[in-house]
Amino acid sequence: MIELRPFASLGGADHGWLRARHHFSFAQYRDPARMGWGRLRVWNDDEIAPGTGFDPHPHRDMEIITYVREGAITHTDSMGNRGRTEAGDVQIMSAGTGVVHSEFNLEQTPTTLFQIWLQTDVPGATPHWGSRRFPRAARAAGFEVLASGRPGDAGTQALPLNVDGAVLAATLEAGQSLRQPLAPGRAAYLVVAKGRVTVNGLALGPRDGAAVVEETALVIAAVTEAELVLVEMAAT
């Protein structure tokens, strides 16, 4: 089953400094049919104005992944971490027993990003943060694992998560296609960061989502040059 989530159907808010669209219920947006997907609880599509950002605020027991699409985000937290993550790269924060952090766009242009939250499998873990460069060339015509807590991804370059799930990304040229297997009992959520594709014959445009379960594979064909972000996880 593949349930399409067109960008135009997403919830959202415009705070002036922040323009946000929500694939799942978040803040003032509530939809009982969109409370999560497997371990995935939040997928926000954010545009942050220059010189603005999220003031210090707390989290606990959540795996938070930030995929920067354009610009850069600067992170600080109560653990003493500070880092700048640029377009195409990824940062993760396992909130564990609790952490306070801020995220600011200190650039001269807007920053766009996906903010992805996964429910942890390890409540009460020690918090940690990390950021890594992931050159887009490394994911041409195939998915690269960016962050993961899946046992099979241990020892890879993926940033570590405390959940049996993973965040992957791929780039495709127009006319290229790929096949991404899904094992029994696994689910996925795919968002087209850029371009147009078909997924098992269904058309998706820019920033559309697709919630996937009980499929053996995703066959993705690029209609135009495309950038894809995928979360794969246990279905329950």
In tens, the pLDDT along 214-229 reads: 999 999 999 999 999 9
pTM over 0.85: yes
68-122 pLDDT, tens per residue? Answer: 999 999 999 999 999 999 998 999 999 999 999 999 999 999 999 999 999 999 9
Residue 139 pLDDT exceeds 90: no
Question: Average pLDDT in the 115-136 region?
Answer: 95
Task: Using pLDDT thresholds of 50, 70 and 90, give the confidence band for residue 163.
Answer: very high
Q: HEC profile for 189-224?
A: EEEEEECCEEECCEEECCCCEEEEECCCEEEEEECC
Pick from 189, 180, 158: which is nearest to 24 by CA?
Answer: 189
What does the alpha-carbon distance between residue 83 and residue 187 come to, in Å, rounded to a whole number? Answer: 32
Task: Using pLDDT thresholds of 50, 70 and 90, give the confidence band for residue 19.
Answer: very high
- For domain 2-234, the CATH superfamily is Jelly Rolls (2.60.120.10)
The tokens for 205 are 């445009």
188-217 pLDDT, tens per residue? Answer: 999 999 999 999 999 999 999 999 999 999
The tokens for 138 are 């490394």
Q: What is the mean pLDDT of the chain?
A: 96
What does the alpha-carbon distance between residue 43 and residue 21 come to, in Å, rounded to a whole number? Answer: 9
